[in-house]
């Protein structure tokens, strides 16, 4: 069998997160809201998309 390397998930530090928020705010309310839901509320992508 071929080796299956473990996938690691990258995380942003606080400064990177603030820069992302700044850019998302400029892109529009939808982008900003999605980033807040993922970053502050810790929702996953499927949960963010399912928010009504």
- Per-residue pLDDT tens digits for 24-52: 999 999 999 999 999 999 999 999 999 88
> Rounded to the nearest 5 degrees, what angle is found at the Cα of 12, between the Cα atoms of 8 and 51?
90
For residue 9 the two structure tokens come to 């998930």
pTM score, whole prediction: 0.70
Provide the pLDDT confidence category of residue 10 given band limits of 50, 70 and 90. Answer: confident
Residue 11 phi, psi (nearest 5): -125, 150
pLDDT reported for residue 4: 85
């Amino acid at each position: 069998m071929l080796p299956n390397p473990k996938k690691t998930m990258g995380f942003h530090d606080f400064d990177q997160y603030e820069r992302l928020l700044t850019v998302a705010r400029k892109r529009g309310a939808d982008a900003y809201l999605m980033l807040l839901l993922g970053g502050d509320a810790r929702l996953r992508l499927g949960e963010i998309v399912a928010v009504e």
